[in-house]
């Protein structure tokens, strides 16, 4: 057992306490106007980037920046192997940067770029990287996240089809590995679920209609949360704790963004927020 793994596990468990948790998120969701919710959030660990005067888009971006900052801090405490896994997971922020860069080039408004610091990937994570390719990389290089990546790929395929959007040219090879080749020909949600491999189909359990796909997305986040907590508290020291920490922090940030959106709509809709918990 390497000393770096012991230290990394202990620090991962400590950093995971930076999430504000479901009760605080529910309280944010109950605010009747956004300003008071953002002001309350600014007094939490998210206050690293959240400011009371921010509008919804700015506050949500600040929440994501805080998540990325925590991942960068986490990586600084880990072994090289664990840091490499965190770098793969953090490539999702590079994809977000690419989206914003494309929006800027098209003359649209765009969020500021995320600064990944030492978590920035190599040239292989450049402009040609698709979300399917990223998820395939996660499945290959972060074993504890394989089911998350497979489930996310299946959801992404569903969303592409619902929007009538063609998948990237490289999607076929990645989907074969993540969801199974039979998904490529499936024409309905039940058919997709039946065709998918076990590592992916769980995300569509009980989902038969497009109107219910949002429930599948919530199920995905719930599983990431459960698995993340389990990884954090595995009896053995190792890189899994870092993956678990990144998972629970990401889920917390997702719930915070949902709570802010509830407050921006006037609050009083905590029953909608409760569906995410």
Distance of CA 95 to the CA centre of its chain: 12
Task: Choose among 178, 184, 217: nearest CA to 198.
Answer: 178
pTM score, whole prediction: 0.93
Q: What tens digit of pLDDT does each residue of 2-38 get?
A: 788 899 999 999 999 999 999 999 999 999 999 999 9
Task: Report d(CA 194, CA 208) in Å as an integer.
Answer: 11
Q: For position 204, what pLDDT does the model report?
A: 96
| 185 and 102 housed in the same domain | no
Q: What percent of the chain has pLDDT over 70?
A: 94
Q: What tens digit of pLDDT does each residue of 62-94 get?
A: 999 999 999 999 999 999 999 999 999 999 999
Task: Report d(CA 207, CA 9) in Å as an integer.
Answer: 37
Q: What tens digit of pLDDT does each residue of 205-248 get?
A: 999 999 999 999 999 999 999 999 999 999 888 889 999 999 99
Q: What tens digit of pLDDT does each residue of 114-165 get?
A: 999 999 985 444 555 789 999 999 999 999 999 999 999 999 999 988 888 7
* Per-residue burial over 174-201, b = 16 or more CB atoms within 10 Å of its CB, e = otherwise: bbebbbbeebeebeebeebbebbbebbb
| 57 and 148 housed in the same domain | no
Q: Where is the domain boundary, 205, 225, 242?
A: 205
* Per-residue burial over 251-265, b = 16 or more CB atoms within 10 Å of its CB, e = otherwise: bbbbbbbbbbbbbbe
Is 200 within the bounds of a domain?
yes
| Candidate ranges 36-40, 204-208, 268-272; pick with highest mean pLDDT | 36-40
Q: For position 53, what pLDDT does the model report?
A: 97
pLDDT band at 268 (very low <50, low <70, confident <90, very high): low
| 141 and 113 housed in the same domain | no
Is 161 within the bounds of a domain?
yes
Q: For position 169, what pLDDT does the model report?
A: 76
Using alpha carbons, list the distances in angstroms from residue 9 to 30, 82, 168, 227, 231: 35, 10, 37, 16, 10
| 199 and 63 housed in the same domain | no
| 123 and 142 housed in the same domain | no
Range of the domain at 47: 3-127+234-275
Is 216 within the bounds of a domain?
no
Contact criterion met (CB below 8 Å) for 145 and 220: no
| 88 and 191 housed in the same domain | no
Is 60 exceeded by the pLDDT of residue 190?
Answer: yes
| 15 and 118 housed in the same domain | yes
């Amino acid at each position: 057992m390497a000393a770096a793994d012991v230290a990394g596990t202990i620090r991962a468990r400590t950093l995971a306490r930076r999430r504000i948790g479901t009760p605080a998120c529910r309280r944010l969701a109950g605010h009747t106007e956004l300003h008071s919710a953002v002001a309350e959030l600014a007094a939490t660990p998210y206050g690293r980037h959240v400011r009371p005067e921010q509008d919804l888009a700015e506050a949500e971006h600040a929440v994501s920046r805080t998540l990325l900052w925590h991942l960068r801090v986490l990586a600084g405490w880990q072994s090289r192997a664990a840091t490499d896994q965190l770098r793969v997971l953090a490539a999702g922020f590079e994809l977000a940067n690419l989206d914003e860069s494309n929006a800027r080039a098209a003359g649209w408004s765009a969020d500021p770029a995320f600064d990944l610091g030492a978590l920035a990937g190599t040239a292989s994570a450049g402009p040609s990287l698709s979300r399917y390719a990223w998820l395939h990389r996660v499945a290959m290089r972060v074993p504890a996240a394989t089911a998350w990546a497979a489930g996310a790929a299946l959801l992404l395929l569903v969303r592409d089809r619902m929007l009538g959007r063609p998948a990237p040219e490289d999607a076929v090879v990645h989907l074969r590995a993540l969801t199974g080749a039979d998904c490529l020909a499936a024409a309905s949600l039940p058919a997709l679920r039946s065709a998918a491999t076990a590592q992916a189909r769980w995300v569509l359990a009980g989902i038969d209609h497009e109107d219910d796909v949002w429930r599948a997305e919530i199920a995905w986040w719930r599983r990431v949360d459960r698995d993340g907590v389990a990884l954090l508290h595995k009896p053995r020291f190792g890189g899994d704790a870092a993956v678990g920490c990144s998972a629970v922090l990401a889920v917390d940030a997702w719930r915070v963004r949902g709570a802010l959106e509830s407050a921006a709509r006037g609050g009083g809709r905590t029953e909608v927020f409760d569906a995410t918990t």
